[in-house]
């Protein structure tokens, strides 16, 4: 069950990771930077939502 949950959390992050890798390999730096911004926004929102939900669950 934990593997399934981990895969569900990881799958939305794979798009920007693949995009960054392909754009770096091809040499499109502007698109690679956009991919990094998207990836950092997704990671930041994931961490923020995890902290908020842990705080809420800790109250009960």
Each of the 60 residues of the chain gets a pLDDT tens digit; together they read 777 877 887 788 888 999 999 999 999 999 999 999 999 999 999 899 989 999 999 988
Tell me the pTM. Answer: 0.74
DSSP state of 1: -
d(CA 2, CA 8): 10
pLDDT confidence of residue 5: 78
């Amino acid at each position: 069950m934990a593997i399934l949950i981990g895969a569900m959390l990881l799958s939305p992050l794979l798009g920007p990771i693949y995009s960054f890798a392909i754009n770096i390999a091809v040499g499109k730096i502007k698109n690679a930077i956009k991919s990094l911004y998207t990836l950092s926004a997704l990671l930041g929102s994931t961490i923020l939502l995890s902290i908020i939900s842990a705080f809420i669950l800790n109250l009960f």
